[in-house]
Amino acid sequence: MSDRDDWGWQPETTSDDGQPETKAEPASDDQTVPTRPLPEVAAASDQPESSTGPPPAATPPADTPPGAQPAAQAPATARLPGWTWPLVSVLALVLGVAGGAVAGALVAGGDDDRSGSGGVLDVETRTTPPLNADNTSIAAVSAKVLPSTVQIIAEYEGKPQGATGSGFVFDAKGHVITNNHVIAEAAEDDGQIEVIDHDGRHMTATVVGRSGVYDLAVLKVKGAEDLPPLAIGSATQMHVGETVVAFGSPLGLSATVTSGIVSAVNRPVTTGDGSDSSYINAVQTDAAINPGNSGGPLVNLQAQVIGVNSAIASLGSPVTSDKVGNIGVGFAIPIEQVTVTTDQILRTGEAQYPVIGANVRGTEDLTGARVESITPGSPASEADLEVGDLIVKVDGKPVTGASDVVVAVRAHRPGESVTLTLRRDGKTFEVTVGLEAKTG
């Protein structure tokens, strides 16, 4: 079994003050892909209502690494027809299987080690592609990436080996990136966290910082300083159809490699329940991803990380996570968002996300998201935005429901602004709304 086996739609999230901030309302043909950050995900056919306040995906780095794929950004993939999404009724975060997968005592990990740095600019990271742009060998990619990929075992429900996942070495200071849902309970309870490298070496890990909003965590691993950090690529420069390779420890099987293609980009994926909700502007892939792959790298053929594997889709009604397997629909957090969140965590121990201060609910006909409430003093209250307005586009891109709006807003950073296309009283017009920061 995985670290969680409670699956189902969780319709309500809470704000920082503990009050409900988001509600879900089913909409039978919502084409947004909702998932969940602990092996539980909403039915893809449901249309959640989400706070437009809390939303992600990071702006790509200003400087494109040498040798990266063509600079043209891939256009958003067309959404699937509404009739196909009822087939995907459960989206499961790729959590690890329960104890027994790996032997060995675990060492307690805390979240008080923030000796990291002044952010990603203060640590040695790799930007030059390890392999040439004309490389087509998955074997060559595997040889470069496997030494930097690790297995993570964390305490869950009092079990030392209750949850397993994956991660990768981010820099030369021993920082490892993984999913928040892999280590969330251990971090909250000061539980045990252990990292096992490609050579089978067991190392202790502490939590530098984590973000439930983006489902990311940064670990400080004693002994990982001598492991080679992976090169960072760009998800925004990937094109649909390009080959990608996934690394991790599915079902406790360490150092596993699978390959596939980029199936879609800019796929809105909703994960989690309540305050654990995450919204991902995901890279979709058909590379085989299974429970235990969570937190592992998704890389291009130049051995550069373009995403962090986080969720999978499964057919049928909700099932326990130990029966969930790959059906060729997996999702990864874009590396641009990973880099932004990691930088914030390394500098402050916390991560921030942008909000506009309004709650929205999707419409039954999937024509947009209606504004249900506006927080006094928020950016939304200062803009020409009113309760009852229908948001039909964000930054010029059509939205079909609340999750699309949230994901689009979270694609920005606090301090930036978004352009909302609204419908009110039969008129369509645009409103620019600023973004303020919240921690989470």
Work out the pLDDT band at 348, boundaries 50, 70, 90: very high
C-alpha 293, offset from chain centre? 13
Structure pTM?
0.74
Which tokens in the block code for residue 62?
């200003």
pLDDT above 90 (res 338): yes
Q: How many structural domains compose the chain?
A: 2
Which of 318, 350, 382 is the C-terminal boundary of a domain?
A: 350
Same domain, 29 and 132: yes
Same domain, 53 and 73: yes
Please provide the DSSP assignment of 203-272 as one string. Answer: EEEEEEEEETTTTEEEEEETTGGGSPPPEE--STT--TT-EEEEEE-GGG--SEEEEEEEEEEEEEEEE-
Q: Taking a C-beta distance cutoff of 8 angstroms, is the pair 66, 129 a contact?
A: yes
pLDDT at 127: 65
Which tokens in the block code for residue 285?
């892939």
The residue ranking higher by pLDDT, 104 or 303, is 303
CA-to-CA distance for 433 and 386, rounded, in angstroms? 12
Buried b (16+ CB within 10 A) or exposed e, 216-233: bbbbbbeebeebebbbbb
Distances (CA, A) of 297 to 246, 308, 374: 6, 5, 38
Q: Report angle CA 316, 285, 362 to the nearest 5 degrees.
A: 60
Q: Which uninterrupted H or E stretch holds 327?
A: none
- CA Rg, the chain, in Å? 20
Same domain, 435 and 331: no
Which of 350, 367, 385 is the C-terminal boundary of a domain?
A: 350
Buried b (16+ CB within 10 A) or exposed e, 78-102: ebeeeeebeebbbbbbbbbbbbebb
Task: State the average pLDDT over residues 338-354.
Answer: 95
The alpha carbon dihedral of 50, 52, 53, 56 has a sign of positive
Task: State the average pLDDT over residues 390-394.
Answer: 97
CA-to-CA distance for 145 and 99, rounded, in angstroms? 26
pLDDT at 274: 53
pLDDT above 70 (res 108): no
Q: Which of 166, 181, 321, 412 is catalytic?
A: 181
pLDDT above 70 (res 10): no
pLDDT above 90 (res 15): no
The residue type found at 13 is T
Which tokens in the block code for residue 124?
């040695």
Task: State the average pLDDT over residues 275-285.
Answer: 85
Read off the CATH number of the domain in which 265 is found: 2.40.10.120
CA-to-CA distance for 394 and 398, rounded, in angstroms? 7
Of 54, 46, 45, the C-alpha closest to 11 is 46
CA-to-CA distance for 219 and 209, rounded, in angstroms? 7
Q: Which of 166, 263, 294, 378 is catalytic?
A: 294
pLDDT above 60 (res 86): no
Work out the pLDDT band at 121, boundaries 50, 70, 90: low
Q: Taking a C-beta distance cutoff of 8 angstroms, is the pair 47, 32 a contact?
A: yes
Looking at the DSSP bridge assignments, the partners of residue 243 are 261
Domain that holds residue 380: 353-439
Which tokens in the block code for residue 324?
């969930």
Work out the pLDDT band at 272, boundaries 50, 70, 90: low
Same domain, 344 and 364: no
The per-residue pLDDT of the chain, averaged, comes to 78
Read off the CATH number of the domain in which 385 is found: 2.30.42.10
346: alpha, beta or left, given left = phi > 0 and alpha = psi -120 to 50? alpha
Q: What SS3 class is residue 180?
A: helix
Q: Taking a C-beta distance cutoff of 8 angstroms, is the pair 10, 273 a contact?
A: yes
CB 63: neighbour CB atoms within 10 A?
7
Same domain, 92 and 210: yes
Same domain, 304 and 259: yes
Residue 215 catalytic? Answer: yes
Same domain, 321 and 388: no
165: alpha, beta or left, given left = phi > 0 and alpha = psi -120 to 50? beta
Same domain, 338 and 394: no
Same domain, 377 and 333: no
pLDDT at 270: 81
Work out the pLDDT band at 314, boundaries 50, 70, 90: confident
CA-to-CA distance for 393 and 404, rounded, in angstroms? 9
Token pair 């800019």 is at which residue? 266
**How does pLDDT run across 217-252, given as a tens digit for each residue?**
999 999 999 999 999 999 999 999 999 999 999 999
Q: Taking a C-beta distance cutoff of 8 angstroms, is the pair 91, 46 a contact?
A: no
The residue ranking higher by pLDDT, 3 or 389, is 389
Q: What SS3 class is residue 402?
A: helix
The residue ranking higher by pLDDT, 6 or 419, is 419
Number of helices (H) and strands (E), helices first, in the chain?
5, 25
pLDDT at 415: 93
pLDDT above 90 (res 109): no
pLDDT at 162: 85
Same domain, 190 and 334: yes
Q: Which of 3, 30, 215, 276 is catalytic?
A: 215
pLDDT at 324: 67
CA-to-CA distance for 110 and 176, rounded, in angstroms? 15
Helix%, strand%, coil% for the chain, nearest 5: 15, 35, 50
Residue 181 catalytic? Answer: yes
Task: State the average pLDDT over residues 96-107.
Answer: 36
Percent of the chain with pLDDT over 70: 68
Same domain, 116 and 157: yes
Work out the pLDDT band at 313, boundaries 50, 70, 90: confident
Which of 350, 371, 389 is the C-terminal boundary of a domain?
A: 350
C-alpha 80, offset from chain centre? 21
pLDDT at 129: 87
pLDDT above 70 (res 122): no
C-alpha 175, offset from chain centre? 18
Which tokens in the block code for residue 126?
């790799």
CA-to-CA distance for 425 and 403, rounded, in angstroms? 24
**How does pLDDT run across 162-192, given as a tens digit for each residue?**
899 999 999 999 999 999 999 999 999 999 9
pLDDT at 394: 96
Same domain, 314 and 399: no
CA-to-CA distance for 405 and 435, rounded, in angstroms? 13
